[in-house]
Amino acid sequence: MSASHAVRADDVADRAVRAGEILRTTFGHAAFRGAQGDIVAHVADGGDALVLMPTGGGKSLCYQVPALLRAGTAIVVSPLIALMQDQVGALAQLGVRAAFLNSTLDAQQARDTERALLAGELDLLYVAPERLTSPRCLDLLAQSRIALFAIDEAHCVSQWGHDFRPEYLQLSLLHERFPGVPRIALTATADPQTRDEIIHRLALEEARVFVSSFDRPNIRYTIVDKQDARAQLLRFVREDHAGEAGIVYCLSRRKVEETAAWLAAQGIVAIPYHAGMDAQSRAANQSRFQREDGIVVVATIAFGMGIDKPDVRFVAHLDLPKSIEGYYQETGRAGRDGEAADAWMAYGLADVVQQRRLIDQSEASEDFKRVSTAKLDALLGLCETAGCRRVRLLDYFGEASSPCGNCDTCLDPPQTWDATDAARKALSAIYRTGQRFGAVHLIDVLRGREVERVQRWDHHKLSVFGIGADLDEANWRSVFRQLVAMGLARVDHEAHGALRLTESSRAVLKGEQPVAMRRTVERKRAAATRRTGAEPALAPADADLLALLKAWRLEHARAQGVPAYVILHDATLAEIARRQPGDLDALAGIGGIGAKKLERYGEALVALVREHG
């Protein structure tokens, strides 16, 4: 080995040791998880990286640790103000010199932050993409020593993705202007097409790609047939998540407002959030959700990326998302702390009609509409699968898996039935009525209901009238929904949501192709109480101590104006309650207690434990 290679090997080994020390003393973690250590080493050594890691997997450490290892300031591109503020607040608790530049700062505050950057007094600086690419900011960066660029939520660069942001397209200039500065792009969700676009748009062709498992084993996936969605949601919240934090997603602002008001009237502490609210009310509701326990926020997808709350116990959808990426990203906001959480969705044919209408009526290119339709079809496949939801979900991201035992179809396997006859009747009804009517009318015809609309069109005289009286309305809704999901029928928005036959339906009508479907039944509910870790539940005395610790944390959070989890996470408090450390050395051995938090809160925590004991 040459002398230069020996020196380099020593540098790498030294950097690995320092990375471990930073992880322990600053962040309070004993060891890196999964690929974190490799990513940190690669970026700290000056390499570019694309990191795909699920929400809650520890993406932030992948650039925060290298930021503290490398000379200069790490510039973090972040899309939302709330996310910047929370992360800077959390880093300040750890003793890390962090700041942000965004519109919440007045002119003097912005100048002070810029001065600190130029003086080398910052470890990390969070900046929005539109500010970063401004001439003023680029000039500022050119005069500063930059450790690395971290591009968070990198899927925003993809025009095929679920959350495209045009300002992200300009971020390729980082490579052009600062060719010697390493870049790390991070996202929690990207299918192969989106990954390729991130690499192309951000000029990361030479970057090392790190793909962690997309599995979130602590999340239970449940998709129910939509009947009375509000009542179904209320049962789910009351029976499984009473008094716990959750997010309910709706497609429209009006539905957000109405659902939040209805839940509040039923005794659930629920608040709305959508882009149509005035900025002050929106910010107040987001702050309340993050800082208080047990709040349910009802929101459009405008609410999401800025949420770093670890103890969200459920995410519910009252409307169908646009894609599996969107569904995965939104459900991933549950259970970031690794504890048990639920992803629950109510889904019906009207959701499919609505999403197809949005695609068809958009002003996007035909290519974009084609891709959007394919993404929606993949989501319908997830909704209608009789197999494991998790297997289907992970397969979409190119990850093989086996049945999880923790989704609704694993816990209560759906029955399948030979629906060939029912499918032929439904397809015949579509054809005989002229392919001009939606499912509600077709079900009336099949079930032989002589309502005014059926008689007006003389459909009570058709050969298909009454031939489906053996199935109830719920089963027929399921049949039509699954026909659309299978591609045997399609929704025509030019004809106000009428169902039409597809070329694939011909073989079914001719009796050449059998059709199997999931049976619509009242599903048994799995037990709500469960734990994902190996630790036993807290003993009553320990639970009392945990309550005291949470009250202590809330008092400090309010005094400092930060969310409670920024002080200490629930998991850390639970470990303190379980182990009851009697001195600072014992407390230092608990995950989440770094040097700065030990210095700031150690004596008070040990005293609280002793008093309780």
Superfamily of 223-347+387-409 according to CATH: P-loop containing nucleotide triphosphate hydrolases (3.40.50.300)
One-letter identity of residue 213: S
Q: How far is CA 490 from the centre of its chain?
A: 29
CA distance 101 to 138: 13
List, by residue range, all CATH 3.40.50.300 domains of the chain.
Answer: 11-211, 223-347+387-409
Low-confidence ranges of the chain (pLDDT < 50): 1-7, 524, 526-535
CA angle 84/86/87 to nearest 5° reads: 65
Q: H helices then E strands: how many in the chain?
A: 27, 17
One-letter identity of residue 265: A
For 31-48, the pLDDT digits (tens) are 999 899 999 999 999 999
Query: Whose CA is closest to 399, among 413, 388, 410, 383?
Result: 388
The reported pLDDT for the residue numbered 534 is 37
The reported pLDDT for the residue numbered 37 is 95
The reported pLDDT for the residue numbered 529 is 41
- Extract the tokens encoding 515: 């059709």
Fold for the domain defined by 11-211: Rossmann fold (3.40.50)
Compute CA distances 128 → 100, 370, 416, whole Å: 9, 31, 50
The reported pLDDT for the residue numbered 325 is 87
- Reduce the DSSP state of residue 216 to 3 states and report it: coil
Q: Contact, 420 vs 505, CB < 8 A?
A: no
List, by residue range, all CATH 1.10.10.10 domains of the chain.
Answer: 416-518
Q: Contact, 73 vs 91, CB < 8 A?
A: no
Q: Contact, 184 vs 146, CB < 8 A?
A: no
Compute CA distances 50 → 32, 147, 325, whole Å: 18, 17, 17
The reported pLDDT for the residue numbered 415 is 87
What is the architecture, at CATH level 2, of domain 540-612?
A: Orthogonal Bundle (1.10)
CA distance 297 to 270: 6
Q: Contact, 215 vs 400, CB < 8 A?
A: no
Helices 59-69 and 36-44, packing angle to 10 deg? 30
The reported pLDDT for the residue numbered 228 is 92
- Extract the tokens encoding 388: 């494991």
For 439-478, the pLDDT digits (tens) are 999 999 999 999 999 999 999 999 999 999 999 998 998 8
Helices 324-331 and 366-384, packing angle to 10 deg? 60
The reported pLDDT for the residue numbered 20 is 93
Task: Report if pTM > 0.85.
Answer: no
Looking at 1.20.1070.10, 3.40.50.300, 1.10.10.10, 1.25.40.10, the CATH number of the domain 416-518 comes to: 1.10.10.10
Q: How far is CA 470 from the centre of its chain?
A: 41
Containing 196, the helix (H) or strand (E) segment is helix 192-201
Furthest-apart CA atoms within the chain: distance in Å: 94
For 483-536, the pLDDT digits (tens) are 988 889 987 766 667 899 999 999 999 999 999 998 875 554 544 444 444 345
